[in-house]
């Protein structure tokens, strides 16, 4: 059985305890490799190397830093398909997606911040005789803690801005998907990122807890569930660390009577079935105007039945893969049970399509659509994080805005209408950090993303993020004698 290790100070490091965890291919249910857990020796070495790495990296001219990161972008793109295959093995998502989205969007974000790095600057203002200026300085050692749905992309979305701004990083991937971040670390070393600037430590919550409590770490950038985010913020508060929280959602997708129904169906399918529904921004509450309900459902069900190809994720024709784990599959199935028990009508997802023999033990759940849903149903209120769509009817604009906002989450929202004024009017009233009009799910590097309410704190991507990985130092310059009463 192949064994992977922690990546510290530019190389792989053995742990002392010899403890490992197993990684399962979700499409087959079989173990694919094992990974050494970061013990105290590894964690302390990672911190020491990140402190050392920070000194060298932050002192480097930003154009050089940018040039090195751009080389990493090229290597990520050169190795696109190999990296995509790793993501497929770890996550169970289709190669069709991983090879066109996961690595590409990860590389895009590093490229965006590498391009922006030489432009990071402070300001200067005259105060009569004296003046002050500001410096935008890096924070120091940052920690990244990632979820399992987009492992390499999440590592890139955290490392890109952190490193471009001159910080070093210790990254902990999810225990379910540990390999992508190690490959990113290898690439950084290969292109000349100094040792210690990007370290990867492996393990479950205890390793994450060590990072969040560690006094030498200045910031935690976390992607994961709301409940975990709260624990991490509480732990980070003990040393007043800066935090960025990219958390879960229960986002509304609102389809008005004048929408292009074909496009709206595409959005609903993308926003519920892409990555088997394991996407944080998914529009899982699909509000459809009563007058177009039948037409919408007819198209949605026909296309779901005809166009979703669930199967071996490595098969280039497969567009719907396996859920991350047996435990997660059980959770998703229990939400499906609760939907039925609470009175929703299951329209599709009753039967499993035939799977290739090697995938019989995989964690597959077919795309599932429910109608006759109410806002109070458990699966309509809680994040399922699986391919389970709730179709809800509405009659008026005011009603749908109120219902869309009636949730503690506020990650994303979508509106489909041809009425341009209504589109803006509605979007401006929705309490969500990422909104789409006549589109769903696109997240380019240039666009800041993050949640309102309990869906997050801070932003990733876009120039805003530079403010989250730097701090402002004000320097007052006295140009004459001090004015003092003493
Ligand atoms: P979790 O919150 O369970 O875990 C996320 C990471 O935190 C994992 O690396 C996990 O380790 C680690 N962790 C768990 N407990 C602690 C702790 N107490 N202290 C420090 N670290 C800890 O999320 P999932 O991995 O299950 O991911 C799914 C969730 O992520 C969904 O809610 C989804 O909405 C959200 N998400 C949000 C995104 C956004 O941008 N807003 C994007 C993608 C996902 P381990 O798993 O190894 O135990």
Instruction: Assign 230 to helix, strand or coil.
Output: helix
At 352 the pLDDT is 84
Q: In what order do the strands lie in the sheet with 130-138?
A: 124-127, 130-138, 470-477
Is the pLDDT confidence value at 353 over 90? no
Which tokens sit at 332?
Answer: 């998703």
Distances 144 to 1, 252, 288, 445 between C-alpha atoms, Å = 28, 28, 38, 18
Burial class (CB within 10 angstroms; exposed 0-12, middle 13-18, buried 19+) of 121: exposed
Tens of pLDDT, residue by residue over 9-59, are: 999 999 999 999 999 999 999 999 999 999 999 999 999 999 999 999 999
At 429 the pLDDT is 98
Burial class (CB within 10 angstroms; exposed 0-12, middle 13-18, buried 19+) of 479: exposed
Is the pLDDT confidence value at 421 over 90? yes
Number of CB atoms found within 10 A of residue 396's CB: 10
Which tokens sit at 479?
Answer: 């140009």
| 30 is a catalytic site residue | no
Count of residues making up the chain: 486
Which tokens sit at 474?
Answer: 């004000």
Instruction: Assign 437 to helix, strand or coil.
Output: strand
Q: Identify the band that residue 483 occupies on the pLDDT scale cut at 50, 70 and 90.
A: confident
Q: Which helix (H) or strand (E) holds 38?
A: none
Share of the chain above pLDDT 70, in %: 100
- Over residues 409-431, the mean pLDDT reads 98
Q: Which helix (H) or strand (E) holds 202?
A: none
At 133 the pLDDT is 98
Ligand 1 atom showing the smallest separation from residue 449 Cα? 40
Helices (H), 117-214: 151-164, 179-191, 205-213
DSSP state of 177: S
DSSP state of 33: E
Is the pLDDT confidence value at 475 over 90? yes
Instruction: Name residue, tokens 């394991």.
Output: 278
- Over residues 433-439, the mean pLDDT reads 98
Rounded CA separation 486/481 (Å): 13
Is the pLDDT confidence value at 349 over 90? no
Rounded CA separation 480/130 (Å): 8
Selecting among 87, 186, 218, 246, the annotated active-site residue is 246
219 — phi, psi (to 5°)? -150, 145
Is the pLDDT confidence value at 416 over 90? yes
Q: Which residues line ligand 1 (CB under 6 A)?
A: 145-149, 172, 174-175, 204-205, 208-209, 212, 223-225, 228, 231-232, 246-249, 280, 383, 385, 411, 451, 456
Share of the chain above pLDDT 90, in %: 97
Selecting among 175, 186, 383, 460, the annotated active-site residue is 460
Selecting among 156, 280, 329, 383, the annotated active-site residue is 280
Tens of pLDDT, residue by residue over 121-178, are: 999 999 999 999 999 999 999 999 999 999 999 999 999 999 999 999 999 999 999 9
Is the pLDDT confidence value at 396 over 90? yes
| 97 is a catalytic site residue | no
At 174 the pLDDT is 98
At 354 the pLDDT is 83
Nearest to 102 by CA among 145, 155, 176: 155
Tens of pLDDT, residue by residue over 181-223, are: 999 999 999 999 999 999 999 999 999 999 999 999 999 999 9
Report the interhelical angle of 397-405 vs 420-429 (nearest 10°): 30
* Mean of pLDDT over the chain: 98
């Amino acid at each position: 059985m192949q064994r992977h290790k922690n990546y510290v100070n530019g190389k792989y490091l053995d742990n002392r305890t010899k403890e490992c965890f197993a990684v399962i291919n979700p499409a087959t249910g079989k173990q694919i490799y094992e990974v050494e857990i970061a013990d105290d020796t590894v964690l302390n070495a990672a911190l020491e190397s990140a402190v050392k790495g920070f000194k060298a990296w932050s002192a480097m001219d930003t154009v050089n830093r940018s040039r090195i990161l751009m080389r990493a972008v090229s290597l990520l793109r050169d190795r696109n398909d190999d990296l995509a295959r790793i993501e497929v093995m770890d996550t169970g998502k289709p190669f069709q997606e991983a090879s066109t989205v996961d690595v590409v969007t990860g590389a895009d974000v590093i490229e965006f911040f590498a391009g922006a790095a030489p432009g990071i600057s402070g300001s200067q203002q005259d105060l009569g005789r004296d003046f002050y200026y500001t410096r935008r300085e890096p924070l120091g050692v940052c920690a990244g803690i990632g979820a399992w749905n987009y492992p390499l992309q999440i590592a890139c979305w955290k490392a890109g801005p952190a490193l471009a701004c001159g910080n070093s990083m210790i990254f902990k991937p999810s225990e379910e998907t540990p390999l992508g971040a190690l490959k990113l670390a290898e690439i950084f070393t290969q292109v000349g990122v100094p040792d210690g600037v990007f370290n990867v430590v492996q393990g479950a919550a205890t390793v994450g807890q060590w990072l969040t409590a560690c006094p030498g770490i200045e910031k935690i950038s976390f992607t994961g569930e709301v409940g975990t985010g709260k624990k991490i913020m509480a732990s980070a508060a003990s040393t007043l660390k800066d935090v960025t929280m990219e958390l879960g959602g229960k986002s509304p997708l609102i389809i008005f009577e004048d929408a292009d129904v074909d496009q709206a169906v595409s959005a609903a399918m993308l926003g519920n079935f892409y990555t088997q529904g394991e996407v944080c921004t998914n529009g899982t509450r699909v509000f459809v105007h009563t007058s177009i309900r039948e037409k919408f459902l007819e198209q949605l069900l026909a296309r779901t039945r005809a166009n979703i190809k669930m199967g071996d994720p490595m098969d280039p024709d497969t567009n719907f893969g396996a859920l991350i784990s047996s435990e997660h599959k059980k959770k998703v199935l229990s939400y499906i049970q609760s939907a039925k028990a609470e009175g929703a009508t299951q329209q599709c997802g009753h039967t499993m399509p035939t799977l290739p023999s090697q995938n019989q033990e995989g964690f597959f759940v077919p795309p599932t659509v429910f109608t006759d849903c109410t806002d109070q149903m458990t699966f309509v209120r809680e994040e399922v994080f699986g391919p389970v769509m709730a179709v809800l009817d509405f009659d008026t604009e005011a009603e749908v805005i109120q219902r869309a906002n009636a949730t503690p989450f506020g990650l994303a929202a979508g509106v489909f209408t041809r009425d341009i004024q209504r589109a803006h009017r509605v979007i401006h009233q929705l309490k969500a950090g990422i909104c789409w009009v006549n589109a769903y799910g696109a997240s380019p590097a240039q666009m800041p993303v993050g949640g309102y309410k309990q869906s997050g704190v801070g932003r990733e991507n876009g120039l805003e993020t530079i403010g989250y990985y730097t701090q402002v130092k004000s320097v007052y310059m006295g140009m004459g004698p001090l004015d003092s009463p003493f």
